[in-house]
């Protein structure tokens, strides 16, 4: 018995912000952003919230799976930008969709969040504790960007992706997760100020700050090695798609090269979405599903990597 994805959904904010739009509010250009990252545009929230986007994505995934919210037993949201410290995004989604009997919680694993949610659900399913789950990866990264730092804020976007999974004969074939907390400082966000009256509030950073070159080096070495380890766990097979976290086209091209895999097998959404952290993988998966690209029996590698540092890779049969 394993865990199979039986439906997907996603939601992108209505407002599209192109590279040229950004060039109107900061010293950047479409040429710089496109050639270094592959990003042309991103969706940014105005009225939408993380929970609102998740609810829309969840409804679409449930419809795609042919499941009712009241039958869902577990909800896990991968996010670093829930609307509140508490309640969690997962609890808010549970209430909004009426998944009354589900257990709901968030996981904080940044760009690996959806993979960590999938592996956690798989562990519950394998243990026989739950039979199905609604998994989400969602971010409102625009609210934690340093909009005075052109080297980070142009890279990211907002959005939500969802998948319904259930216990089945086929599905997840192999996976691994990893963390390297010692390198956490290369991509970090200090978050809210300490409100303790006995603690001084002199932290320098409130928003995302990143050592882009260190993150780049981490991604191009860790991701192909993680994928190779996961493939070694399974029977040899031809991979139909590599659904990677959408951080930068050059990272994806480098991973393809190191794996000696055809770049055509690496679908892309970062051109119109930017980097949506935990949202990237499930949003891309939903785009592929809705285009009819995914056929029963396809072998798909999914890999998320980013802040923490964290990474998670899965091989699954569609």
Q: Helix axis angle, 30-37 relative to 249-259, nearest 10°?
A: 20
207 near ligand COA, judged by CB under 6 A: no
Sheet holding 132-140, edge to edge: 2-11, 158-168, 132-140, 74-78, 103-107
Answer yes or no: 111 catalytic. yes
Catalytic residue among 189, 245, 248, 289: 245
Give the CA distances from residue 277 to residues 42, 96, 272, 315, in Å, rounded to whole numbers and listed in that order: 13, 23, 14, 20
Nearest residue to 101 via CA among 128, 132, 63: 132
Position with the least CB separation from ligand COA: 212
Closer residue to ligand COA (CB): 87 or 212: 212
Place of tokens 């394993």: 2
Q: Residue holding tokens 């603690």?
A: 199
Q: Which is nearer to ligand COA, 207 or 216 (CB)?
A: 216
Residue 212 is a binding residue for ligand COA (CB under 6 A): yes
Least distance (Å) from ligand COA to the CB of residue 286?
20
Which of 79, 177, 246, 248 forms a contact with ligand COA (CB under 6 A)?
A: 248
How many other β-carbons are positioned within 10 Å of the β-carbon of residue 27?
8
Question: Is 273 considered catalytic here?
Answer: no
Is 108 among the catalytic positions? no
Minimum CB distance to ligand COA smaller for 93 or for 247: 247
Q: Binding to ligand COA (CB under 6 A): which residues in 129-188?
A: 150-151, 154
Q: Please state, in angstroms and rounded to a whole number, the distance separating the CA atoms of residues 284 and 149.
A: 27
Stretch that binds ligand COA, among 32-40, 122-130, 168-176, 256-264 (CB under 6 A): 32-40
Residue 36 makes CB contacts below 8 A (sequence gap 6+) with 248, 250
| Residue 88 in contact with ligand COA, rule: CB under 6 A | no
Strands (E) located in 89-150: 103-107, 132-140
Which residue in the list 19, 64, 248, 275 is annotated as catalytic? 275
Closest distance to ligand COA from the beta carbon of 80 (Å): 11
Tell me the two tokens of residue 248: 């930068």
User: Among candidates 257, 234, 179, 248, which has minimal Cα distance to 38?
Assistant: 248
Residues 107, 61, 298, 115: what is their CA dihedral angle, to the nearest 10 degrees?
-10
Out of 36, 40, 209, 298, which residue is the one contacting ligand COA (CB under 6 A)?
A: 36
Q: Is 223 in the site for ligand COA (CB under 6 A)?
A: no
175 strand-pairing partners: 314
**Residues in binding contact with ligand COA, number by CB under 6 A:** 18
Q: With CB under 6 A as the contact rule, which of the stretches 84-92, 200-208, 211-219, 258-266 interacts with ligand COA?
A: 211-219
**Least Å from the CB of residue 82 to ligand COA:** 18
List 17, 89, 111, 270, residue binding ligand COA (CB under 6 A): 111
Q: Which residues are catalytic?
A: 111, 245, 275
Binding residues for ligand COA, per CB under 6 A?
28, 32-33, 36-37, 111, 150-151, 154, 210, 212-213, 215-216, 247-248, 275, 306
């Amino acid at each position: 018995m394993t865990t199979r994805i039986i439906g997907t959904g996603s939601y992108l904010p209505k407002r599209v912000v192109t590279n040229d739009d950004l060039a109107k509010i900061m010293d950047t250009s479409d040429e710089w952003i496109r050639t270094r990252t592959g990003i042309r545009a991103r969706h940014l929230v105005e009225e939408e919230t993380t929970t609102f986007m998740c609810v829309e994505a969840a409804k679409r995934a449930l419809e795609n799976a042919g499941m009712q919210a009241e039958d869902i037993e577990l909800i896990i949201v991968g996010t670093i930008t829930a609307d509140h410290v508490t309640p969690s995004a997962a609890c808010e989604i549970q209430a909004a969709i009426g998944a009354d009997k589900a257990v709901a919680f968030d996981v904080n694993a940044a760009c690996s969040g959806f993979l960590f949610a999938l592996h956690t659900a798989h562990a519950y399913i394998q243990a026989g504790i739950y039979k199905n789950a609604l998994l989400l990866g969602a971010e409102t990264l625009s609210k934690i960007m340093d909009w005075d730092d052109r080297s980070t804020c142009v890279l990211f976007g907002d959005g939500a992706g969802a998948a319904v999974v259930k216990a089945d004969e086929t599905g997840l074939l192999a996976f691994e997760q990893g963390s390297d907390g010692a390198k956490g400082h290369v991509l970090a966000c200090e978050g809210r100020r300490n409100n303790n009256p006995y603690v001084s509030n002199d932290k320098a950073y409130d928003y995302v700050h990143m050592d882009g070159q260190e993150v780049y080096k981490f991604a191009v070495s860790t991701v192909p090695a993680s994928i190779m380890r996961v493939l070694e766990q399974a029977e040899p097979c031809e991979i139909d798609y590599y659904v990677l976290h959408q951080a930068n086209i050059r990272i994806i091209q480098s991973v393809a090269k190191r794996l000696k895999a055809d770049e055509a097998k690496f679908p892309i959404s970062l051109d119109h979405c930017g980097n949506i952290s935990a949202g990237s993988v499930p949003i891309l998966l939903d785009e592929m599903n809705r285009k009819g690209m995914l056929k029963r029996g396809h072998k798909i590698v999914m890999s998320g990597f980013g802040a923490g540092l964290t990474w998670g890779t899965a091989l699954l049969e569609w």
